[in-house]
Homo-oligomer: A and B are copies of this chain.
Amino acid sequence: MGGDRAPAEIVAGAVDAVSAGLDVVLVGDESRLGPLVAESGVEIPVVHAPSVIDMHEDPAQAIRSKRDASITVAARLVADGEAQGLVSAGSTGAVLAAAAFVIGRIRGVARPAIGSVYPTGQIVLDSGANLECRPEHLVQFGAMGAALASVYLDLESPRVGLLNIGEEPGKGRELEKEAFTLLDKSPLHFIGNVEGRDLGKHTVDVVVTDGFTGNVLLKGAEGTASMLVSMISSLLAERPDLADAVADLAPTFTELRERIDPETYGGAHLVGSRGVVVVAHGSSSRIAIANALAMAAEGADRGLVGAVTKEIEAIP
């Protein structure tokens, strides 16, 4: 029931995921979901949850008081082992609260974090769950990001970098200075400070930062990418004589657009939770939802929660 385009696009994404072989359970108002599922001709079980938590409610309070909200009921399915993962395009605050209060944190995790994938494949975390962090949180983000990278990128020893404003040790705020020291002493494969411009160079696999900075970095990258795409379009529009060349290259540009489209990733893992939780964009289309469901299934299949537990236990 969450997201700007719910429930139609969410159900459509679930239909695509089921057609691709996943087991999906929809949670929400049966009177609205039922007809959409029936129309699709695909069989998807619906667990009824009559209420919703909207963007304007206090998430922690709403999770506690609305026990029949769709996000609460869905989280309970995961907590009870009836589902192996949760995907939501609803209020991120509500998803975080449901993960914290209903599913619970992995032992030793101070702050679950959102690990988003940058278009060139690196994992950036936290990208929005914890706006203000302490140095020890960043070390845990490094460990959880390494787990995510080992599960998704099949890396044995993912390179962890600390997002900073310069490469030299000693750069940054107090937060980065102290986190640098702790990361350097940790068992992680810590490569030191990295800058925003290193992301495209594939010199790092996991980029650690607080949730405010990570969110700004990722949305800035998104903005820059669409700015460039529209700059290219308008430059080419000025040259009608090149129309044939542009037509020849159209498939290349389409491929480029798909590669950088946030919908391709579908969502981002909330790591540190005692269950697989994928946070999808509020504006998610059916494609994004299907991809987010595949992401959650992959996390469950490959043992993401176990990998995170192991990495967190290795931090002194």
Known: A131-B165, A197-B220, A228-B228. A212 touches B173 (CB 8 A): yes
Q: Would you call the interface of chain A mostly helix, strand, loop, or mixed?
A: helix
Instruction: Name, among A55, A128, A165, A230, the residue most crowded by chain B CB atoms within 10 Å (CB to CB).
Output: A165
Q: Which residues of B contact A119 (CB under 8 A)?
A: 224, 227
- Chain B residues with CB below 8 A from A57, complex form: none
Task: Give the number of times this chain occurs in the complex, counting copies.
Answer: 2
Pairwise interchain contact A212-B165, C-beta atoms closer than 8 A = yes
For chain A, the bracket of interface size reads 35 or more
Of the candidates B131, B196, B244, the one whose C-beta lies within 8 Å of that of A219 is: B196
- Binary contact readout A168-195 vs B (1 if CB under 8 angstroms, 0 otherwise): 1000111000000000000000000001
Question: Nearest B residue to A221 by beta-carbon distance?
Answer: B224
What B residues does A215 contact at CB under 8 A?
165
Q: Is the CB of A163 within 8 A of B225?
A: no
* Contact A249 B246, CB 8 Å, known A172-B212, A173-B212, A228-B228: yes
A39 located at the interface, meaning its Cβ lies under 8 Å from any Cβ of chain B in the complex: no
The residue on B at minimum CB distance from A235 is: B252
A165-B128, A222-B196 given as contacts; is B231 within 8 A of A256 (CB)? Answer: yes
The residue from B163, B221, B225, B249 contacting A242, defined by CB atoms under 8 A apart: B249
Query: A226 interface residue, CB < 8 Å from B?
Result: yes
On A, residues with C-beta under 8 Å from B are: 55, 119-120, 128, 131-132, 163, 165, 168, 172-174, 195-201, 209, 211-213, 215-228, 230-232, 235-236, 239, 242, 244-246, 248-249, 252, 255-256, 259-260
